């Protein structure tokens, strides 16, 4: 099995090296030559890890399937209202679009938020790959992290998006094949695979158990899947506007197939998680973990590197840089991003939690700005920047405050918790016990008080990781209000939006 895994990794590296890029368009957007089916497979593969972080540890199959299908809905939203119009614009990166639509200040904000929502996921993917590399190459944890980082650099820095996109497509096929193989192996071993009737019953049970937290989770998954930067960049890779839309339709189909397969065996979801990879048994699950983590890691690495190299260096600092210099800077950025990611991964603290929260950050930062930027000509720079900042600020506040300041958060906002009448007496009891305790019992009582506050510190029972349900509406509201209260965009920008809509149809 180790030999098979080693050969698979060697094949990915060799394939990436054969696609060395000497043209900027090849490095950024794969020469805009990627076929829709291959593009769709790559998009699907790059979404499995974010879904696994939310769904992999849930016990109910119905939850995993129905909530996972929210990701499919997000891809359909992209196919309908984002991907074709971004391809019609014809730029290289998502911040490129923000600069053209809203001005250069918006480019810098978009770069900042792209890194904020992408880096935690990249750290988690790198940690998972290190967990796979450690037993395979008999490495200690630290060398395994550096080996995984080196693998990503080698696969990315020479071929850029041309190599990454085709590698992701191959990994998408591998992921689907490995998931099916895992089911076949379990059946062959006589294990209990849940059949179609079981899945249907679980879905019905989900609808009966529906609550605010599940709905917030579904909306967060859908909105983030629709506008993740590393996903939307696939819209720039196709030959035409039509094939951009078709690519995302294929990705929705592939993701639905994967979810239906994984719903019969929850271990397929768990395989991608960092805390699980070191305990995986069986080649199919190992291949699922490899494909899911490598696919998203390659996409995130190239997305961050391109944003820094293209949007920050070339478009902001050195507009006269030659093509050769730009390529050199992009490759250096790839090494720097991989190194920083490895250094963060070495701390090994709390990044899975941050990575799950990054779904809300992505939705808050980009969903309102893209919807209004493509579909409402009146949206202007001031409104968009204010909306992006307000949405991300609220998402960060709701993600951080209930955990790091749970007592202050709950006591100030207990009326919004959704069950204050039941919670408040219990909370007061924990607080009184903590105040009266002394000696060795003091710390335990205080910990119980703080942990109780963390449990109760929500708005309407919504977990802090699904802050998008609050942040996205705020982003829309602030963007619209500020845009209406400030000057209209210049006429050429309004004409650009109008032409964008015509070309995207």
Which pLDDT does position 19 carry in this prediction?
A: 64
Q: Among 236, 304, 246, which residue's Cα sits nearest to residue 36?
A: 246
Domain borders along the chain are 38-349
β partners of residue 459: 462
Return phi, psi of residue 312, to 5°.
-85, -50
Which pLDDT does position 123 carry in this prediction?
A: 95
CA distance between the termini of the chain? 49
By three-state DSSP, how is residue 459 classified? strand
Looking at residue 417, what DSSP letter applies?
S
Which pLDDT does position 36 carry in this prediction?
A: 96
Task: Please give the average pLDDT of every successive group of 10 residues along the chain, which has 505 residues.
Answer: 69 67 81 93 94 69 74 96 93 94 95 96 94 86 93 88 90 91 74 49 49 87 96 94 96 93 76 74 82 94 95 90 90 95 86 89 97 95 97 96 91 70 78 84 88 86 92 98 96 89 58
Q: Which residue has the tokens 């499995």?
A: 48
Sign of the C-alpha dihedral computed for residues 198, 202, 203 and 205 taken in this order? positive
C-alpha to C-alpha distances, 452 to 72, 401, 456, nearest whole angstrom: 36, 14, 6
Contact present, 474 and 211 (Cβ < 8 Å):
no
- Give the helix/strand (H/E) hosting 46: none
Return phi, psi of residue 459, to 5°.
-105, 110
Compute the residue count for the chain.
Answer: 505
β partners of residue 462: 459
Contact present, 417 and 410 (Cβ < 8 Å):
yes
Q: Which residue has the tokens 């400030």?
A: 486
Helix axes 468-485, 381-404, angle to 10 degrees: 150
Q: Say how far apart CA 451 and CA 259 lie, in whole Å.
A: 34
Q: Say how far apart CA 35 and CA 20 lie, in whole Å.
A: 19
Which pLDDT does position 18 carry in this prediction?
A: 65
Which pLDDT does position 252 carry in this prediction?
A: 97
Q: Among 282, 264, 242, 274, which residue's Cα sits nearest to residue 145?
A: 274
| CATH number, domain 38-349, options 2.40.50.140, 3.10.310.30, 1.10.150.130, 1.20.1730.10 | 1.20.1730.10
Helix and strand element counts for the chain (H, E): 25, 0
Q: Name, in order, each residue with C-beta under 8 angstroms of 206's C-beta and a sequence gap of 6 or more.
A: 60, 62, 63, 65, 66, 214
Contact present, 294 and 131 (Cβ < 8 Å):
no
Q: Say how far apart CA 273 and CA 397 lie, in whole Å.
A: 26
Q: Which two tokens stand for residue 370?
A: 């893209």
Return phi, psi of residue 190, to 5°.
85, 15
């Amino acid at each position: 099995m180790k030999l098979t895994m080693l050969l698979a990794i060697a094949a990915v590296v060799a394939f990436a090296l054969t696609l060395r890029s000497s043209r900027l368009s090849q490095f950024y957007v794969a020469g805009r030559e990627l076929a829709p089916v291959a593009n769709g497979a790559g998009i699907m593969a790059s979404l499995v890890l974010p879904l696994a972080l939310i769904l992999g540890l849930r016990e109910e199959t119905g939850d995993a399937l129905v909530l996972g299908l929210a990701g499919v809905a997000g891809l359909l939203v992209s196919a309908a209202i984002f991907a074709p119009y971004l391809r019609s614009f014809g730029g290289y990166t998502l911040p490129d679009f923000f600069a053209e639509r809203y001005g250069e200040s918006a480019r810098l904000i978009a770069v900042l938020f792209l890194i904020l929502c992408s880096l935690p996921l990249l750290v988690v993917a790198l940690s998972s790959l290190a967990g796979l590399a450690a037993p395979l190459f008999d490495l200690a944890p630290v060398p395994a992290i550096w080996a995984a980082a080196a693998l990503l650099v080698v696969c990315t820095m020479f071929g850029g998006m041309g190599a990454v996109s085709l590698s992701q497509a191959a990994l998408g096929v591998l992921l689907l094949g490995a998931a099916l193989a895992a089911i076949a192996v379990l059946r062959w071993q006589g294990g209990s695979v849940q059949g179609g009737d079981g899945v249907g019953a679980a879905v019905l049970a989900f609808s009966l158990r529906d609550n605010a937290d599940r709905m917030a989770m579904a909306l967060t998954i859908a909105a983030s899947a629709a506008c993740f930067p590393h996903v939307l960049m696939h819209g720039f890779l196709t030959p035409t506007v039509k094939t951009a839309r078709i690519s995302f339709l294929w990705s929705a189909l592939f993701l639905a197939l994967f979810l239906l397969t994984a719903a019969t065996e929850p271990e397929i979801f768990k395989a991608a998680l960092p805390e699980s990879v070191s305990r995986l048994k069986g080649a199919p699950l190992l291949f699922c973990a490899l494909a899911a983590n490598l696919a998203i890691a390659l996409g995130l690495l190239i997305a961050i590197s391109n944003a820094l190299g293209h949007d920050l260096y070339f478009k902001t600092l050195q507009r006269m840089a030659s093509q050769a210099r730009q390529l050199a800077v992009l490759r250096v950025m790839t090494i720097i991003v991989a190194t920083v990611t490895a250094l963060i991964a070495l701390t090994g603290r709390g990044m899975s939690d941050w990575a799950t929260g990054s779904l809300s950050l992505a939705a808050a930062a980009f969903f309102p700005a893209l919807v209004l930027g493509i579909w409402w000509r009146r949206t202007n720079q001031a409104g968009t920047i204010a909306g992006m900042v307000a949405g991300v600020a609220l998402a960060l506040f709701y993600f951080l405050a209930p955990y790091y300041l749970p007592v202050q958060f709950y006591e100030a906002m207990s009326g919004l918790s959704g069950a204050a009448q039941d919670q408040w007496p219990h909370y007061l009891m924990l607080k009184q016990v903590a105040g009266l305790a002394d000696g060795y019992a003091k710390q335990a009582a205080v910990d119980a008080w703080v942990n109780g506050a963390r449990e109760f510190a929500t708005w309407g029972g919504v977990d802090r990781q699904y802050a998008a349900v609050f942040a996205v509406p705020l982003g829309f509201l602030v963007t619209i209000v500020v845009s209406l209260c400030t000057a209209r965009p210049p006429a050429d920008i309004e004409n650009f939006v109008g032409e964008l809509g015509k070309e995207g149809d």
